[in-house]
Amino acid sequence: MLTRTVRKLVTCMATSPTPPSPTDTHADVVLIGGGIMSATLGSMLAVLEPRWRVVVLERAGALASESSDAWNNAGTGHSGFCELNYMPDPTNGSKASIIAAQFLASRQWWSYLAAQGLLDPTTFISTTAHMDVVFGEHDIAYLRERFDTLITDPLFGGMEFSDDPSVIARWAPLVMEGRPAAQRVAATRHPGGTDVDFGALTRGLTTVITSCGGEVRLGHDVRSLRRDASGSWVVRCRNRDGEFSVRSPQVFVGAGGHALRLLQRAHLPEVRGYAVLPVGAAFLRCSDPTVVSRHRSKVYGQAAVGAPPMSVPHLDRRVVDGTPHLMFGPYATFSTKLLTRGRWTDFFTTVRSHNMVVILAAMVQNVSLIRYLIGQLAARPRHRFRQLQRYYPRARRDQWTLVAAGQRAQLITPDRRRIGVIQQGTELIVSADGSMSGLLGASPGASTAVPIMVDLLRRCFPDRWRDRWAEAMSVAIPALTTARWSPELVRDVHATTGRSLGLVTHR
């Protein structure tokens, strides 16, 4: 079934159908938000149900202009290789292992679409080694223990550890040049990591949607969501020409920082007590080819005490529009906006009587986070640059520019024991009848978008999933049904997806 569907899709893409009239008011599925989540879900629906009409509503004038934009995230294909915050206990690798398996599922979906000619991998993914670099005896002991734990998991086969400065210098020369000889340093490295331009990927996946009758409406701001007498959702929007509405039995809210507000407007009881905390960021960026050409890794370190998960320091090689750059950061910024192009009132519009105490409880339990944010905001430019020099001792100020990155909405959830808890990661919200869903939270959502959206398909379309979709998706994404990963299976998946995605691992 899936093969026939893909053939239809390829034919559709070749014929470039005329998009539906903007006066149409009905869709089979409405996707709110033009980022990686909506694009991933829409691409799956296009493959599974090519006759369905999928409408994407995006308030900005371009796709992937918020968190999915290449300059608004680190571009790391989060696979657990280098994210130390996944393992505060170095003897427990369960979360890192889950993330690694989820990212393999994402690779398989992208690989499947690429093999069918529906997606061009050269526009969005490249091989970039993932590293951790730590300093001092305490963190070196932690990193060694973490390595000893992960190397027993087949998903992390190929990871290397070294505390030899000459070896680390071969892996990341900029990190070691100019460093005091007496300073103790250790590193882990996995050569199979990736750099992902999620903006380009989003645009590529959206092409799969529009090629067979789906529609993308830019500059359309969703104002309200309500049920009509038939049980369909009425999505009311505003654009430069006025107001209009789209009716659909199924709605997904993938609007990033605005997702909670829209789910609240839909009066979904499932988000009662939920809240978000706005977190902004900035990066230092270097585009000097003489510097960029000498760093071919994503180097992560230990986060400062109290720092939110997305503030782990990293010196990243990025490839954006085919051009490599280096980025270092992030540096926390403050704003009550929930989107880069949002309003200062955004955060306050999500505060309700039922989540105020949840927010206060979470903040009281995270005094170190508040202290960290205040310290970041008070930091002077020379202090920011000293943080870069910890990872790149010979960095020159004239080669680096401070650039604003995206806004994030850190998720706060109600908790019976602690009242309110700041959550790491994302959470999929689904209404009781499965007709409305939404995604709340932040990193590593983009890298794990595929398994998240597969979970949505299971929960929102249980009958179709059971009757047809489960079998079809298991063909495209075998990792969905993999209960146990052997070293041979991991190597086979990396090799198979690597060929389809054009990835070449450099040792």
Closest CA to 262 of 473, 474, 58: 58
Instruction: Write the CB contacts of 160 (distance below 8 Å, at least 6 apart in sequence).
Output: 188, 189, 190
CA angle 41, 37, 109 (to 5 degrees): 55
For the cut 70, the answer to whether the pLDDT of residue 15 exceeds it is no
Question: Quick check: 19 pLDDT over 70?
Answer: no
Q: State both tokens at 101.
A: 């398996």
d(CA 114, CA 242): 39
Structure tokens at 428: 């999929």
3-state secondary structure 272-309: CCCEEEEEEEEEEEECCHHHHCCCCEEEECCCCCCCCH
Report the C-alpha gap between 137 and 158 in whole angstroms: 25
- Give every CB contact of residue 334 below 8 A, 6+ residues apart in sequence: 280, 373, 377
Query: Among 278, 498, 480, 460, which Cα is nearest to 369's?
Result: 278
DSSP three-state, residue 178: coil
Q: What is the pLDDT of residue 400?
A: 98
Q: What is the mean pLDDT of residues 146-155?
A: 98
Residue 419, classed as helix, strand or coil, is: strand
Residue 306 has pLDDT above 60, yes or no: no
Q: Would you call 322 helix, strand, or coil by DSSP?
A: coil
Residues 416-471 have pLDDT tens digits of 999 999 988 899 999 999 999 999 998 788 999 999 999 999 999 999 999 999 99
In angstroms, what CA-CA distances link 371 with 265, 306, 366, 380?
A: 33, 7, 9, 16
Rounded CA gap, 108 and 438, in Å? 24
Residues 134 and 188: their CA atoms lie apart, in Å, by 9
Total-model pTM: 0.94
Does pLDDT of 267 surpass 80?
A: yes
Collapsing DSSP states into helix, strand and coil, what is residue 448?
coil
CB atoms within 10 A of CB 459: 14
Of 346, 46, 411, 359, the closest CA to residue 204 belongs to 46
User: In b/e form, how buried is each residue of 209-231, taking b as 16+ CB within 10 angstroms?
Assistant: bbbbbbbbbeebebeebeeeeee
The rounded distance, in Å, linking the Cα atoms of 92 and 101 is: 16
Confidence of residue 136 (pLDDT cuts 50, 70, 90): very high
Per the CB < 8 A criterion, the answer to whether 370 and 422 are in contact is: no
Residue-level pLDDT at 424: 81
Which pLDDT score is estimated for 14? 46
Gap between the Cα atoms of 455 and 215, Å rounded: 24
Higher pLDDT, 496 or 333: 496
User: Comparing 315-329, 360-374, 403-417, which segment has the lowest mean pLDDT?
Assistant: 360-374
* Length of the chain, in residues: 507
pLDDT in tens, 196-245: 999 999 999 999 999 988 999 999 999 999 999 999 999 999 999 899 89
What is the pLDDT at residue 163? 98
Residue 507's pLDDT band (boundaries 50, 70, 90)? Answer: low
What value, to the nearest 5°, has the Cα angle with vertex 170 and ends 165 and 175?
65
